[in-house]
Amino acid sequence: MKDIPDFTLLPSGSRLMFSSGATVIVDLENLPCKYPAEVIERHHPGKGLSFPKLAKKKRGVVAYTEQGGDIAVGDTIRIFVPTQDAWPHRDRFLRGA
């Protein structure tokens, strides 16, 4: 496999283990922010404002290092995805109930 399908959708807690032994743990999606939109807007008027919406689910993830090591293009990556179901109360707390 040359790429990781739907990479941005890897759940929090997923571990990416590289052939060197380096390991990173996914924390959360790298959400689009207004700063790239402002730069795009300066260079391409009328295009920057749509960036956050168009970039959603396409910006990768934020992760932290669990085990250091060298990482290079072409390395083998093993992915361990947590099997835990989504927390059933999530929607209730997002609504502020």
> pLDDT tens, position by position, for the chain (97 residues)?
468 888 888 889 999 999 999 999 999 888 777 788 889 999 999 888 888 888 887 778 899 999 999 999 889 999 999 887 777 877 777 765 4
- Count of structural domains, the chain: 1
- pTM attached to this predicted model: 0.68
The string of DSSP letters for 13-76 reads T-EEEETTS-EEEEEEE----HHHHHHHHHHSTTTGGGHHHHHTT-S-EEEEEEE-----TT--
Is 2 part of any domain? no
23 burial type by CB count under 10 A (0-12 exposed, 13-18 middle, 19+ buried):
middle
Is 28 part of any domain? yes
Is 1 part of any domain? no
Residue numbers of the domain that contains 89: 7-94
CA 81/CA 66 separation, integer angstroms: 15
CA 75/CA 21 separation, integer angstroms: 11
Look up the CATH number of the domain holding residue 56. Answer: 2.40.33.20
CA 76/CA 17 separation, integer angstroms: 8
